[in-house]
């Protein structure tokens, strides 16, 4: 097996995931991640989708971990501390000296950047990279992670400025992850379909807020969300579509009078007078008070 330095492997891996994020945004398909990177004709994997902590074999027995992941089955067991701008990532098992935990500890000791893959839908991942380990806590069986914009931290870097930059970057990442968590919960409640048109293409579905997240009651909870396709989400956001407290769908009168192509006719005008397809569990259905407040805005428009 060819020998590669850690710097070579890590630089190639970080460049690859940066390309993937530019190509796919926050929904990178598993197949694209499985391609790995190629160095001197040797394919090097970026991850093992069955393991939380991954180190390529080419880095040797004393090598540092390259990537970590959080699965769709338990995507938020890891604690996301938005106030402090930190992510607490659990050890593998309860043995601090498990080889996977040791490999991750090597990354901390050597101050090496990692790739963090967070499942957002089955088979799709958001990529957080670079991310660094800022603390190892064997007593709590966890590492503390922080995101950054810089792939490597040198000994000449200003530690205070680095800490401030990472706290800011991590808060931005956590805000994105919390929105993805909201989306996942809402789409699960709505059985992965648009509540208005029944579209089931998950990549074209959103979680729409009833009351905006900037509203005092606009929490990212299922009862403040609607599973909608991108067209109906956009129409709801700009008050072309309104939804009353009884889950009835309304379309603004001037839009009903327009003459245009099939999208306007079938996508908007024909949904007027229909009712939402609601979650089966009553406790997951939209809050009537929230719908009423939002519907008042629609009627005013």
Q: Tell me the mean pLDDT in the region 69-79.
A: 61
Predicted local confidence at residue 2, as pLDDT: 57
Q: Is the pLDDT of residue 77 over 60?
A: no
Domains observed in the chain: 6-185 (2.30.280), 191-300 (no CATH)
Predicted local confidence at residue 30, as pLDDT: 94
- Residues with Cβ < 8 Å from 164, sequence gap 6 or more? none
3-state secondary structure labels for all residues of 207-276: EEECCCCCCCCCCCCHHHEEEEEHHHHHHHHCCCEEECCCCEEEECHHHHCCCCCHHHHHHHHHHCCCEC
* pLDDT bucket at 215, cuts 50 / 70 / 90: very high
Q: Tell me the mean pLDDT in the region 1-10.
A: 83
Predicted local confidence at residue 75, as pLDDT: 44
Q: Is the pLDDT of residue 168 over 50?
A: yes
d(CA 269, CA 3): 63
Give residue for tokens 């070579």: 8
Predicted local confidence at residue 153, as pLDDT: 63
* pLDDT bucket at 81, cuts 50 / 70 / 90: low
Please give the residue that has the higher pLDDT: either 278 or 160.
Answer: 278
Q: Which of 104, 25, 31, 117 is nearest to 75 (CA)?
A: 117
Token reading at 57: 């074999």
What does DSSP assign to residue 128? E
Predicted local confidence at residue 76, as pLDDT: 45
Length of the chain: 301
pLDDT digits (tens, 9 = 90+) for 179-210: 888 999 999 999 999 999 999 999 899 999 99
d(CA 176, CA 209): 15
pLDDT digits (tens, 9 = 90+) for 40-53: 999 999 999 888 99
Q: Is the pLDDT of residue 78 over 70?
A: no
Alpha helices for 68-158 (secondary structure H): 99-109
Query: Whole-prediction pTM value?
Result: 0.77
Long-range contacts at 145-150 (CB < 8 A, ≥ 24 apart): 145/86, 145/87, 145/88, 145/89, 145/114, 145/116, 145/170, 146/85, 146/86, 146/87, 146/170, 147/116, 147/172, 147/173, 148/113
d(CA 231, CA 71): 29
Mean pLDDT of the chain: 90
């Amino acid at each position: 097996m060819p020998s590669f330095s850690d710097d070579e492997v890590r630089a190639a891996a970080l460049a690859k995931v940066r390309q993937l994020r530019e190509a796919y945004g926050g929904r990178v398909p598993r197949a694209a991640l499985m391609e790995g990177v190629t160095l001197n004709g040797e394919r090097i994997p970026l991850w093992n989708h069955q393991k939380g902590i991954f180190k390529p074999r080419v880095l040797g027995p004393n090598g540092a971990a390259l990537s970590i992941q959080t699965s769709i089955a338990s995507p938020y067991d890891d604690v996301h501390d938005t106030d402090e701008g930190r992510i607490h990532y659990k050890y593998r098992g309860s043995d601090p000296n498990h080889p996977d935990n040791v490999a991750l500890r090597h990354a901390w000791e050597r101050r090496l950047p990692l790739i963090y893959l967070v499942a957002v839908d089955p088979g799709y991942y958001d990529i957080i990279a670079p991310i660094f380990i800022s603390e190892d806590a064997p007593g709590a069986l966890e590492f503390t992670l922080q995101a950054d914009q810089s792939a490597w931290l040198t000994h000449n870097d200003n530690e205070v400025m680095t800490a401030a930059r990472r706290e800011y970057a991590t808060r931005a990442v956590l805000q994105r992850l919390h929105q993805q968590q909201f989306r996942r919960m809402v789409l699960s409640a709505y059985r992965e379909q648009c509540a208005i048109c029944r579209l089931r293409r998950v990549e074209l579905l959103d979680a729409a807020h009833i009351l905006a997240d900037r509203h005092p009651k606009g929490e990212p909870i299922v009862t403040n969300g609607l599973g909608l396709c991108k067209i109906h989400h956009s129409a709801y956001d700009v008050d072309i579509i309104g939804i009353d407290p009884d889950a009835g769908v309304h379309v603004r009168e001037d839009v009903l009078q327009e003459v245009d192509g099939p999208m306007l006719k079938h996508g908007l005008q024909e949904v007027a007078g229909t009712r939402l397809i609601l979650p089966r569990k009553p406790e997951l259905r939209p809050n009537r008070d929230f719908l009423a407040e939002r519907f008042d805005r629609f009627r005013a428009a």
